[in-house]
Amino acid sequence: MKNNLAYALAILVILIVSGFSMFGVDRIMLHMESQSLQAGKTAVLHADLYYQALDGKLITRMDAPLNKVMITNRQGELTIYDLEDQTVYRAQGLEYSSENNLIFFFLTGKTQDLGLRDLGFSIDRTEFKDGLLITQWIPPRAHSHMFSYIELVHEDHLPIYAAYYDAGGKMIKKVFYSDFEIYSDIILPLAVTEFNYLPGGDSIVNRVRFSDVRTNRQAVSSWFDFEIPDDAQHID
């Protein structure tokens, strides 16, 4: 596909921001601006997201430079439709599920563990420092080859950041959450900043910013009903 950096950013966005749920919200739509910075190169993505809790379908309408529509659901079925050349790409995996990501846990009220408990992690240490709650989570055996522990830091019952440490105890990722707002009984961070630290000392910085958030009766758009055309050409 064209523009590999922007495409990689689009996939990353699915992992970060998809998966809105039925916690006080039947449907939600919002605008997103995302930036990915690596080795002096910047990819910027603008998109509008449309989610309905009834069927768990998330539709992401991406503007330039991709001009694509990305659809995913609870089962992890991913479809990417190119509006220009009318081709469609399909894939499936749990990582694409609209219920398997970090923002999902904000919207289901799981802000205390960000879903770690559901993944089999357990608290190893709890500390209060300067008004912050710091918890250290150790992984189950199935994830011990990936992480030695994950550290969550909360203030006023809301997560400030999550830090991920590999099996050797080296930090490999840190995610910051900020600018919280309340929408229809859910709390949503309007800014998510993720630092991924690469083995060679370089890093990838991803910044996601949400705006124009509309829920339930205020969320009205024909994009909620978008379907891939039957004559779209399938590509690998």
| pLDDT digits 0-9 by tens, 156-170 | 989 999 999 999 999
CA distance 86 to 235: 10
**What domain range is 102 assigned to?**
4-231
Q: Is residue 148 part of a domain?
A: yes
pLDDT at 4 over 60: no
Number of domains in the chain: 1
Q: Is residue 236 part of a domain?
A: no
Say which residues have a Cβ less than 8 Å from residue 171's Cβ, sequence separation at least 6: 163, 164, 165, 197
Say what the pLDDT of residue 200 is.
82
Q: For the domain that residue 30 is a member of, what is the CATH number?
A: 2.50.20
pLDDT at 62 over 90: yes
Q: Is residue 56 part of a domain?
A: yes
In this predicted model, which residue has the larger pLDDT, 172 or 24? 172
Quote the radius of gyration of the chain (alpha carbons, Å).
Answer: 18
Say what the pLDDT of residue 116 is.
86
